[in-house]
Every structure is written in C-alpha cells, then in structure tokens.
Amino acid sequence: MRRLFLLTLFSCFFLTCFSQLAYQEEIRQFDSSRLAYLKSDNGWLNLAGLLWLSEGRNSFGSDLNNKIVFPGAGIPAHAGYFELNKGFVTMITEPGSGITVDGKFRKRAMVYHPDSARLPVSAMGSLRWTIKKSDDQYGIRLRDLEHHAVKEFRGLERFPVDSSWRVKAYLQKSSGGIPITNVLGQTIDLESPGKLIFTLGGSEYSLDALWEGEQLYIIFGDETAGVTTYASGRYLYARKPGPDGYTILDFNKAFNPPCAFTDFATCPIPPKQNWLPLAVVAGEKSYH
C-alpha cells in the first residue's frame, strides 16, 4: 500500500513538472514568434512614416517641396505623385524612378481601391510602402527594411511566466458592435461576439471581445498601465469558444500594441469597460 502511495505521488509530481515544463516551452515559442514578427519585413519596427494624402494630386519624393516627403535619401527628389479620387488611389511615377509595384516596373498603377483583396506593395531600394485607410483618411504606410530600430532591437521584457494568469473564460454572447477609438481619436463600431467572463483571485471580471478572423481579439488595460506596461493598454488573442461556450484567456500572452514601438501606427485603445481594476502582472512589459 505504501509503495503504491509513493508511486502515485511520484507520478503526480512527474506529470505536474512535465506540464509546467511544457507550458514554459509554449510561452517560449510564443515569445520567439513574436520577436520574429516584430523584426520581419511586415513587423512594426521598420515603420518609417505614415503620410496622409489629400483629395486630388499628391506629389512625392525626398524633396521638401513635395506634398508627401519621404524621409532619407532612398528615393528620387521628385518620384511622381499619388492621385486620390473618392477612395481610389493611383500612383504615377516619373520615368527612371526605379519604383516597382509588386515587383514590376509600372509608370501608372492603381494602388488602392475599396474592393482591394490585397494591397499592392510599392518598392525602391530598402523602402516599401502600401496605402492605409483609417476611417475616412488615406495615407502611405512607409517601411524601411534597413531601419535603425530593427538593427538596434534588443528584445522584449516580460513578467515571470505564471500559469495562474491562464484562466477559463465564458463567452456571454451578444449581438451588435462596440465603439472602439484609436490614437487618432477616430471611433468606429466593431462587431463583438460578446463578453468574456472569468475569475481571478476569487473575483469575477469581464472583457468585451472582438472578432479577428476565427479568433477572439481583446483590447484591455489594467493597473500596471503606465507603470510597468504600456500606458494605452495591451492586446490578447483567444481561441473561438467551444460548444460549451468556454475558451482560455492566457494573460502570459498579453502583448504591446504597435504604438509601443513606433509613432506611425493607428492603434485602437481599450474601451472604458475593458480597463480591469487589478494589476495584471503577466505578459509583455513596456518596451524601452
């Protein structure tokens, strides 16, 4: 009997340790993917400008007399112009500018229209740009693949991994949208599947969720904001709930919004109901 008890105790200890190690590895892989994305061509570290267009003709290039001035010397002084016409953006380039659209030299190209399935990528040297629509504004999202922020990146800080911040959450379904405001002060209604209800430290809390593809997307703030974490809140993804209505909220996977890394992003900020009255000491800390 004593031998059976010791064997059972050892098995439980082994399984617990194995589970903890597996979870630590899961978070390590999450962090690794996060770092790789930030440093990638489509990550946030290489953003070099967010340049807003006006209706009509917008000249662009490195010369300061252009309406749209590209920083640095990686583009001709007068490279061409963008024509914004009621939600359609056409780019016309000067002969010999060296600018490509999706890898091909084009003198004239439609680079944005309201039904775009994907955004064409314009390029010259280390510069890449696409058109970004934000509410009723249209702008150039400019990237520099040789941006100093990528070269100087030294990684992220996080709170110690603690599985007690991994909790079950029940999705209380609702229909309609919730107003979300971004850092530009623009507010739009986004579809919400409902409210995630969960318990931490014996108290019940809730967070309104949004849809992003087949995942739940949560924009939240807490009492660490502006102290040890980014002042305007953090983001979190969760799987679509199962048939029982439950999913997992893992605050160890809470991460900084793009605005923590660049001035050239238009990040949504947490709605007032998503500011938690507790300190979530899990996930990413402020980026310095």
Q: Where in the chain are the domains? A: 27-42+154-274, 47-146
CATH of 47-146, one of 3.30.420.40, 1.10.760.10, 3.40.50.720, 2.60.200.20: 2.60.200.20
C-alpha closest to that of 156 among 53, 69, 80, 228? 228
Strands 215-220 and 203-212: antiparallel
The dihedrals phi and psi of 55, each to the nearest 5 degrees, come to -60, 135
CB pairs under 8 A, 24+ apart, for 71-74?
71/142, 72/48, 72/127, 72/144, 74/124, 74/125, 74/126, 74/127, 74/144
For β-strands 88-93 and 108-112, DSSP reports them as antiparallel
pLDDT of 74: 79
Smallest CA-to-CA distance from 142 within 49, 38, 70 is with 49
pLDDT in tens, 146-168: 999 999 998 999 999 999 999 99
Residue 2 is predicted with a pLDDT of 52
In eight-state DSSP terms, residue 224 is T
**Tokens 């800390």 identify what position?**
285
Cβ(63)–Cβ(54) under 8 Å? no
How far is Cα 224 from Cα 159, in angstroms, rounded to an integer? Answer: 11
Percent of all residues in the chain with a pLDDT value above 70, rounded to a whole number: 93
The 10s digit of each residue's pLDDT in 196-247 is 999 999 999 999 999 999 999 999 999 999 999 999 999 999 999 999 999 9
Q: Note the pLDDT of residue 16.
A: 60
Structure tokens of 181?
Answer: 């405001």
Query: With 0-12 CB in 10 A as exposed, 13-18 as middle and 19+ as buried, what is 258?
Result: middle
**Could you tell me the end-to-end alpha-carbon distance of the chain, in angstroms, rounded to an integer?**
57
CA distance linking residue 106 with residue 13, whole number of Å? 65
Low-confidence ranges of the chain (pLDDT < 70): 1-18
How far is Cα 27 from Cα 32, in angstroms, rounded to an integer?
9
Amino acid identity of 97? Answer: S
Cα 121 from Cα 128, distance rounded (Å):
7
User: Looking up tokens 């662009």, which residue turns up?
Assistant: 60
pLDDT the model gives residue 194: 96
* pLDDT value, residue 17: 62
Q: Write down the pLDDT at residue 203.
A: 97
* Residue 280: per-residue pLDDT: 98
Coil, strand or helix at 225: strand
